[in-house]
Structure 1
Amino acid sequence: MHWNTTFLLLITSSLGAPSPLQSSSTDGCGQAPPLTPGDVKVFPITGGREYEVWLPENYDQKKATPMILSYHGANGDMEHQRNLDNLTNPAFNVDHILVYLQGTADDPSRPEHTTWTPAPGSTSDDLGYTSNVLDAVEAVLCIDTSRIYATGKSQGGGFVSQLACDPKMSTRIAAFAPVSGAYYVAGIDICDPATVEVPCNASRTEIPLLAFHGGADGTIPYHGKNDPCLPDIPSWVQQWVEREGLEERPIEAPIPRSDNGKVSSYGDGLITFVYDGDNIDHDWPATTSNSDNERDGHVRAVFDASTMIMDFFRDQKLPN
């Protein structure tokens, strides 16, 4: 079932009742969890990296629970992303496990510069790392494997797009929601942002995608960048639409009270693009204060991306 476009205008409404859990489950079902529901805990993983898990208060080790992977932006970390996406806040989420992943600083001279594949300077196997994290979490928690999702900001959002296009991860993760994504094209230093082809090798079709981008983004420009290669965002969206064989003309809905913001829905919401507005910079859109919109020159959005992401994820699961 795809996302009904009418929900896009209900961005200030309550989340509503959660969807019934599916029967798909993991080896962790029936085990006592390695952390207390309602708490956050950091775990080590193969290769010297870490990840962070948050359990909802109502976590039940006997019930398969949906899970969200969340990726921070460049120079960020797990804690920063947890505070930014706000998905551990009951106002947005009460029934999905959150797993925050940690990028690496591959340049010894810049230990604070964490990155994600395929951004310039990134050399880590982030796909392998993500796979290892999924394996580790599924071994100790009761996960609904048909309802695993991924979201992220900036380079983290760009990596979410990489997950959607990966042959293995595209069949392991049900839906994807990049925010202000940095969709670097690997192997190309200089390009024409309007025409560059963004490779995608997903091994399934009908991949649900919800993406956000602001018109005033000064870090990852809305119309791309030729060096390093960043595609024009409308072109990037159109390439997703074409890969799915959808009608090129979307159903469009304005975002009330925004600065020309609108939601474009393709294929009954299978592919949905949110233009945050002419005045929204490189931000995670939110109606309350966060580390993005409190920067000089930035403004708060008139909607919460986190609400829209949760509404979108609730309506998606992997096909049987």
Structure 2
Amino acid sequence: MRMKQRDTLLGIGLYGWVVLSLLLTGCGGVSQAQENAIANKNAKMTPKIANGCGKDAEVKAGDSEDETMTADPRVANGNSMRDYYIHVPTGYNKTQSIPLVLVFHGTGARGSDMEQVTGLSQLADQENFIVAYPQGLKDNNGQTFWASIGTTQQGIDEIRYVDDLLDNLEQSFCIDEQRIYATGFSNGGGMSWYLACNLPERIAAFAPVSGNFYDLDTGCNIKKGVPILDVHGTGDTVVPYMGGPAPEKPDLPLPSVPQWLNEWAKRDHCAQGPNTFFQSGNVTGEEWIRCRDGSSIVHYRIEGGGHAWPVSLGGSPSASETIWNFFKQHPLTYS
């Protein structure tokens, strides 16, 4: 079911400064692992054809619209419908399969806010991929959020929601099922990590920004290499870089970002790292390489950086472009 396209963009409060900053340029480094990733994963690809190929899409090329889909109220806090915001690139062709990027908002925000914060819809027009901005439900305080710890959190099954959302999108658009990616900010970054542990067979790579990485009640037992790009500022006071009690959930301590990354390196069976591959101003790029299934882990540490989606990661291109460039190097592999 389609909802009327918005005539005006929503305000984004804390994020507002980013909108203007996205007009600036800067230069993110590219790691050796990123340059070699495509060559490292070739024979393991299994071609798949999306059901939506050949169908006329309800959302016109170049448009951004609110959409709704049915949900099981038993796993959606009583809601029978769930929302998402979607942008279809100007060059969309129903006979050509293209990538999909999922972008998850932070606590108290809306999916459409992330279009302004990240500039990813504009980038999608340039690079020809679809962007979906999923919408979280409201918590007990009336704020939108992601239940990124597990289904015990207010009885919301976010994995079921994303799984159903992907089914919905693949049936409606010509999506390359080997090139589906997820990123997000703050609580949405935590959602990216939650998905990395639970849907790596559908989503090829993940890029949390200022993510809150709580212990999952289901654990994280992946069976394949999962590419991760992480961005975090050492001056973040909302999700502290060195971990410990988080202001928003003091009863749930956070691991430090280095600890979290090293745990991922173990899951991915990385043989080497972290190695510094990039340094510019206050941004340092680190990577873990020779990981299983040709995956890699990349971390951009922003010295003194706060709780915000960065404009760039050390120059030009923008941070969103750096994330997209990482995604492009990591199609889905099948172990």
Same fold per TM (> 0.5)? yes
| Map of 1:228 onto structure 2 | 252
**Aligned match for 2:68, one of 39, 44, 47:** 44
Kept in 2: contact 1:23–1:144 (CA 8 A): no
CA distance in 1, matches of 2:126, 2:236: 27
SS of 2:307's partner is coil
TM-fit CA distance, 1:302: 4.7
Equivalent pair of 1:157/1:177 in contact (CA under 8 Å): yes
Name stretches of at least 5 consecutive residues in structure 1 with no aligned partner.
10-21, 188-197, 288-299
- Inter-partner Cα distance in structure 2 for 1:181 and 1:255: 22
How much does 1:206 deviate? 1.6
Aligned twin of 2:100: 67
CA deviation digits over 1:158-214, x for unaligned, max 9? Answer: 111111111xx1101111111110111245xxxxxxxxxx93122x32211101100
- SS of the counterpart of 1:160? helix
2:273 match? 249
Pairs within 5 Å for 1:273-284: 273-276=299-302, 278-284=303-309
Contact 2:272 2:289 in 1 (8 A): no
* Contact persistence 2:33–2:289 (CA under 8 A): no
Residue 250 of structure 1 deviates from its aligned partner by 2.1
Distance verdict in 2 for CA 1:229–1:186, change over 3 Å:
farther
**1:24 CA displacement:** 2.8
Paired with 1:87 and 1:35, the residues of 2 have a C-alpha distance of: 17
RMSD: 2.6
Distance 1:266 1:165, change over 3 A: same
Which residue identity lines up with residue 321 of structure 2 in the other structure? T
From 142, 145, 162, the equivalent of 1:114 is 145
How has the CA–CA distance of structure 1 residues 115 and 206 changed in structure 2, closer, same or farther, with 3 Å as cutoff? closer
Which structure has more helix as a fraction of its residues? 2
Write the distance in 1 (CA, Å) between the matches of 2:184 and 2:98. Answer: 20
Name the residue aligned to 2:232: 213
1-structure distance, mates of 2:148, 2:268: 24
Q: How does 1:195-214 map to 2 (within 5 A)?
A: 199-202=219-222, 204-214=223-233
Q: Secondary structure at the match of 1:250?
A: strand
Match of 1:232, as an amino acid?
A: S
Residues 115 and 122 of structure 1 are in contact (CA less than 8 Å); yes or no, is this contact kept in structure 2?
no
Q: Following TM superposition, by how much is the alpha carbon of 1:318 offset from its aligned partner in structure 2, in angstroms?
A: 1.1
**2:90 is matched by which residue type in structure 1?**
E
- TM-score normalized with structure 2 length: 0.76
After TM superposition, give the deviation of residue 6 of structure 1 in Å.
Answer: 4.8
Is 1:262 aligned to residue 284 of structure 2? yes
Does the 8 A contact of 2:147 with 2:153 survive in 1?
no
1:148 is aligned to 180
The alignment partner of 1:251 has SS state of strand
Q: Kindly, what percent of the aligned residue pairs are identical?
A: 29
3-state secondary structure, aligned to 1:49: strand
Higher strand share: 2
SS in structure 1 at match of 2:280: coil
Match of 1:297? none
Q: Write the letter of the residue equivalent to 1:286.
A: V
Q: Work out the CA distance in 2 between the residues paired with 1:302 and 1:131.
A: 36
Q: CA deviation at 1:306?
A: 0.5
What is the distance in 1 between the residues matched to 2:200 and 2:306?
29
User: 1:34-63 deviations in whole A, cap 9, x for unaligned?
Assistant: 111010111111221111111111111001
AA of the residue aligned to 1:274:
Y
The superposition leaves residues 213-251 of structure 1 with CA deviations (integer Å, 9 ceiling, x where unpaired) of 000000000011243221111000000011122135322
SS at match of 1:42: strand
Number of residues of Structure 1 aligned to a counterpart in Structure 2: 276
Structure 2 unaligned spans of 5+: 1-28, 36-45, 72-80, 246-250
1:1-320 aligned within 5 A: 5-6=31-32, 24-47=48-71, 48-90=81-123, 93-107=126-140, 110-118=141-149, 122-166=154-198, 169-186=199-216, 199-202=219-222, 204-226=223-245, 227-258=251-282, 261-267=283-289, 270-276=296-302, 278-287=303-312, 302=315, 304-320=318-334
